[in-house]
Amino acid sequence: MFKRALFHTISTQLHHKNAIVITGMRQVGKTTLMKQLVTAWDAKYVWFDFDNPLDQMLFENNDFNRIFRDLQRLADAKEGERFLVCIDEIQNFPEITKTIKYLIDHYGLKFIVTGSSNYYLRNLFPESLSGRKFLYTLHPLTYREYLYFNALLPESELQPDFEETTSTHSPYNIIKRRELYDQYMEFGGFPEVALTADYATKNLILKNIFASFFEKDIKVFSELKDIKELRDLIILLGPRNGNILDVTRLSSELGINRVKTYNYLEFLEGTFFLRLIPKYTKSVDRSVAGGKKVYFSDTGMLNLITKTTAGQLLETTVANQLQHYGKLSYYNMRNTAEIDFILNDEIALEVKQKAIEPDIRKLEKLADKLSIQNYYIVSNTPDNQKHIIYPWFL
């Protein structure tokens, strides 16, 4: 099984006392990652899948000490021997967090758990694990991982490296790195999609993932009863991808109130279906209040829902790549001047199919106005000018 970059980050925390919580969209590889971490653990463990109600039964006992004894027996662990407890899809049984806290505090058990929703973790996940968990998010494949899954990049180069992105590259490396980028933009980064060669089958897999989102994730959240409204919102958001959201207009087109629209958007962001990028400003209050830009978290899913322009597709792909480097925002001055992305408040980035000299001068002027020293055009056309970087190195 191919390892994700996140494996190398998490594996260093395997023997720490804290529970490891892995969250992320469905079908991004959380279960596979947990299996790989079990192999790295290389000791006794037990595994539960909470999509199966039978696997929940052991944890329904109010006697936490009895639960420990049952787990110890299943793991075939000796008295005092530490073992690992793996739980897949923990959101199906939120009460278990109190049990996990007790078993960590009293028996030193190690837990790895997965959950499909940040929305769930934030709204339903009790605070009983405060200070006792490390929380990680697994996203769809980065382009580096996509190349690795297709045997075009070694595992040692999986970690994001912005310094490499801004370096000078040989024509050979440029050609090799961009080889699958168009395919990556079209079909996105779900691992099963990346490992499937046939294009028609890739689309079938994407349709199944979309269906699974409605069949499973929405059932967990009883307050989201009208699936049709949520579906219609997703369809409306497709053509708006990469644009500043007008929630009032969205609400009007859906025929629902603004509060409900905000709740749906929070749900879609919390389940990693999309990301909302705030406006760049040095005032925190204005950043919260300002309109946000919406981007689908996977371009394959975006292409399944709506037709996109080449520029829109490239910008969305770059947005998904940049989020691995830190905090993203955008700059917009009364719709007269805009910067696509500002990374960590210190790097200005504009996305273009082909960069030209006036683009660089315009970006330089805007970045200088914001006191941002580092600025780059992300260009889909090779050009070795200064301040131009290529998306396939991100």
Residue 289 confidence (pLDDT) above 50: no
The confidence score (pLDDT) of residue 285 equals 47
Residue 276 confidence (pLDDT) above 60: yes
Measured CA to CA in angstroms, residue 75 lies from 11, 53, 212 at distances of 21, 20, 32
- Structure tokens that stand for 361 in this block: 């001068």
Q: Where, residue-wise, is CATH 3.40.50.300 in the chain?
A: 5-137
Share of the chain above pLDDT 70, in %: 92
- Structure tokens that stand for 343 in this block: 């990374």
Residue 124 confidence (pLDDT) above 60: no
The confidence score (pLDDT) of residue 286 equals 47
Residue range 171-184, pLDDT digits in tens: 888 888 999 999 99
Residue 290 confidence (pLDDT) above 60: no
In CATH, what is the architecture of 5-137? 3-Layer(aba) Sandwich (3.40)
Cα gap 156→189, rounded to integer Å: 19
Of residues 312, 224, 304, the one with CA closest to residue 268: 224
What mean pLDDT do residues 320-337 have?
A: 89
What mean pLDDT do residues 125-141 have?
A: 81
Measured CA to CA in angstroms, residue 116 lies from 148, 249, 321, 350 at distances of 25, 30, 20, 32
What mean pLDDT do residues 79-86 have?
A: 96
Cβ atoms of residues 279 and 292 within 8 Å: yes
Q: Which residue has the higher pLDDT, 81 or 335?
A: 81
The confidence score (pLDDT) of residue 273 equals 92
Cβ atoms of residues 377 and 360 within 8 Å: yes
The confidence score (pLDDT) of residue 94 equals 81
Cα gap 302→290, rounded to integer Å: 25
> Residue 84 — pLDDT band, cuts 50, 70, 90?
very high
Cα gap 243→335, rounded to integer Å: 12
- Structure tokens that stand for 179 in this block: 């080889």
Q: Which residue has the higher pLDDT, 94 or 259?
A: 259
Least confident of 133-147, 233-247, 354-368, 379-393: 379-393
Least confident of 9-18, 206-215, 361-370: 206-215
The confidence score (pLDDT) of residue 293 equals 96
Residue 287 confidence (pLDDT) above 60: no
Cα gap 262→268, rounded to integer Å: 10
Residue 113 confidence (pLDDT) above 60: yes
The confidence score (pLDDT) of residue 223 equals 61
The confidence score (pLDDT) of residue 392 equals 93
What mean pLDDT do residues 290-304 have?
A: 93
* Other Cβ atoms within 10 Å of 350 Cβ, number: 24
Per DSSP, the three-state class of 330 is strand
